[in-house]
Every structure is written in structure tokens, then in C-alpha cells.
Amino acid sequence: MAVAAQESAEIRDRMTKAAEAIHSEQSRSVNTADDLLPLLHDWLSRQKERQGVELTASEIGSSLMNHPGIGNGLYKILGSSMLLSNKLTASSEYIRLLGMRVVNGKRTKKFIFDLSKVEPE
């Protein structure tokens, strides 16, 4: 960045934008390196009636457990409402990539997904 700044403000700005883009992509890769995100996306794409409605972590987990090819780690998360709820709320990637909103109820959090609000990358 120091060398770019010596060249010109324009080159420094371009280098800054490139560095920010790389950082963003690396963060996205780390945050989405799990099996849950693609599974949720596939499930929501196939079951449109699940979009736009409030779903508890228990409802989401029980529906996804029937999906073939679930690994042991993911099976453990899906089998625990608390683990699944924590996982969904731990990363902004679920909000950005699945159009997820969290609704705090009296006893539990509920999740609303809307793939139509997701901007294509």
C-alpha cells in the first residue's frame, strides 16, 4: 500500500479496493465452509412453502434430517434446536445468502427465509 500511495492516489484506491475484496471473499469462504448452508439453500429452493413463514430451529432440523447424505457432525447440529439456532445466528452469511430474518419469540427464536430477497453474486 505504501508503494501504491507513492505512485498515485488512484492506484492506492484501486489497491485498497482489491485488498477489501480479497478480505471479503476470504471471510465468506471461512464462514460458509460448512454443510448446512448448501443444504438449507437446496431445501428452501425445493420447498417454496417454507419461505416467508416463521420456522423454529426444531422444525428446520427435523425437516433437514430426512435429507440423504447428512454427515455425523451436521446430524448432531440438526438434532439439537439450541445448536442449530446458535449456528444460524452466528454468521451473517445465512442472512445474506438465504434472506434470513430472526424473530425473537417468548420462548424461542424463529427464522424466516426469503430467497427472493437474495441478490445474485
CA distance 120 to 95: 14
The whole-number pLDDT of residue 27 equals 58
The residue whose grid cell reads 447424505 is: 69
In what side-by-side order are the strands of the sheet with 55-56? 55-56, 109-112, 101-104
Q: What is the pLDDT of residues 49-92, one digit of tens each?
A: 999 999 999 999 999 998 887 888 888 999 999 999 999 998 88
User: Exposed, middle or buried: residue 58 (CB in 10 Å: 0-12, 13-18, 19+)?
Assistant: middle
Distance, CA of 54 to CA of 103 (rounded, Å): 8
